[in-house]
Amino acid sequence: MALWEKRRSTLVLAGLVLFHVVLISVQVPQGAEKSAFERVVFFVYSPVQRLAAGTVRGVVSLWRGYFDLRGVRKENETLKRENFFLHQDVRFLKDRLGLYRSEAELQAILKDFRGTVLPARVIGIDSVNPHQAIVIDKGRLDGVAKDMAVCDMTGALVGRTIGPVSLKDAMVQLITDKDSSVGVVSAVDRLTGSLAGRSGPTCELRYVLASVTGGQVGEELLTTGTDRIYPAGIRVGRISSIEPNESSPIFRRIFVEPYFRFNTLDVVAVLAGAPGGGK
């Protein structure tokens, strides 16, 4: 007791430092799996985040809805025009799809797809690096589970759900995170590889052999579905540059600009089927 009175500060610091060292050490054998303690902390703090994000959104919406009405008419015209062209696109694509599949097959595909898309709001961003993860306002109660693909409003791939998934919130690992990996194929030259993030605004297409020809700047990349997390055919991004790989000459160094934009990442779509997008 006398030692506690005398060296209180030092003992508290030593205890807390020891606690953290143990906490960090126990995660090494666990790998990416989240500990129960981390899940509890997430469960406690995520409602606060939801409240804050909701308040900010409310204020912004109030401002945009009532005070900042300048340009609404012009914006409305632009949206009407875009809507018209989108309807045309959908009709055209349906017709094209009908050429390859029977009506019954087409209806079965569409039926499978309906109801599996879950809209969610982004309520938080990774506290250390915004390019790593986001938090969404849908959780286990809404049918969200680990390893579900997440897309933005235009259908471009954003990432996948990871733990911890709480009752009403979930964390999404972005494709720009450096530990993320997505199986992709280029739309024209069919270059296949693994898309890895760089914890920055761009990604890198890895494991494309230097001997493989094809692939050009501007070419679109789509998911292959081979990783059993992301369904095949989702738009991911465009090749922004191709360079020789100096550190590993047997591969090419291909940089990719993802389609999703941070500043417009307000609402996302969770593909809430089984992992991989299936039912």
Partner 1 sequence: MRESVAKDVLRAFLGTLAAVLVYSVAGASGPRLLIVFNAFSVVVLFFSVRRGEVFGALLGTLCGLAQDTFSIGVFGVAGLTKTLLGFWTGYISRRIDVAPFARNALFMLIMSVLEMILWVLITAIVRLETVSWHGGLILLQPVVTALVAGLLIVVERRVAARRSRGA
From the list 6, 7, 21, 94, which residue makes contact with partner 1 (rule: CB under 8 A)?
21
Residue 263 within binding range of partner 1, rule CB under 8 A: yes
Residue 110 within binding range of partner 1, rule CB under 8 A: no
Binding mask 178-217 for partner 1 (x = CB under 8 A): xx------------------xxx-----------------
* Strands in 149-226 per DSSP E: 149-151, 157-165, 170-174, 181-186, 192-197, 203-206, 220-223
Cα angle for residues 262, 233, 221 (degrees, 5° grid): 60
Of the ranges 48-56, 85-93, 148-156, 216-224, which one interacts with partner 1 (CB under 8 A)? 48-56
Residue 133 within binding range of partner 1, rule CB under 8 A: yes
CB 240 within 8 A of CB 255: yes
Report which of 209, 232, 92, 70 is spatially closest to residue 157, judged by C-alpha positions: 232
Residues 239-258 that bind partner 1 (CB under 8 A): none
Report which of 47, 229, 61 is spatially closest to residue 151, judged by C-alpha positions: 229
The Cα-based distances of 148 to 87, 90, 94, 135, 238 in angstroms read: 28, 25, 26, 14, 23
**Does a cis peptide bond (omega within 30 degrees of 0) precede residue 164?**
yes
Q: How many residues bind partner 1 (CB under 8 A)?
A: 50
Residue 262 within binding range of partner 1, rule CB under 8 A: yes
CB 255 within 8 A of CB 217: no
Residue 68 within binding range of partner 1, rule CB under 8 A: no
Cβ-based nearer residue to partner 1, 61 or 248: 61
CB 107 within 8 A of CB 116: no
Residue 146 within binding range of partner 1, rule CB under 8 A: no
Residue 8 within binding range of partner 1, rule CB under 8 A: yes
Enumerate binding residues for partner 1 (CB under 8 A). 8-9, 12-13, 16-17, 19-21, 23-24, 27, 34-35, 37-38, 41-42, 45, 48-49, 51-53, 55-57, 123-133, 135, 162, 171, 173, 177-179, 198-200, 262-263
